[in-house]
Structure 1
Amino acid sequence: MSANEMRVFLRHDGSIRNDPGPPLNKLYESITIKTSSEEYVFNGRSDTARGALDYIRLAHAKHGTATSKDKACHAAIKADKGAVAHIVFKDG
């Protein structure tokens, strides 16, 4: 993994396990979330990686901005009791 990449683990509810803090507040290019059976790729949904992960974490609630992809990803994370998120940050 290069300096502009990070891997974080998500709990069954989509929250971040061992949250790395400020590094997630950087601009990102893509986030790939992998469960044992599914892979979801997110680009440009939010300015920061933390914001994008929040959309997925809140997708189970009646959150007005949750897309069907957010909901499907959240359901897959819940069913798998967690997931891995691979984040590629923008340079600079």
Structure 2
Amino acid sequence: MLKDLQKVFEKYEHVQDQSIQSIEEIYFKYLRDISNYLEAEFNAETLRSQLWERGLQFILDNHAKKNLNSTEVQHALANLLNSFLAEIIEKGNKAS
């Protein structure tokens, strides 16, 4: 996942539609794989829409044209991923 994100940061450099869509795809695959590994419930359609509703659209709207490596953007991306990971881990623990 980190290598894929690095490629996006090198290719796009700034927050824009294409960079955020690429990040969404990376996050989606990573969260899907973690869900499967932890045997947590996974709904692809819900996850994609929630990624946008809970963070990606905000990042696109509020950080447009900022550098992807800026502290603000990195913090927003990390918080989004961490919130989903926490939920998946909780679901996985309940499934066990």
TM-score (norm 1): 0.32
Q: Highest CA radius of gyration, 1 or 2?
A: 2
TM-score in terms of structure 2 length: 0.31
Q: Which has the higher contact order (CA 8 A, sep 6+)?
A: 1
**Counting strand residues as a fraction of each chain, which structure ranks higher?**
1
Structure having the larger proportion of residues in helix: 2
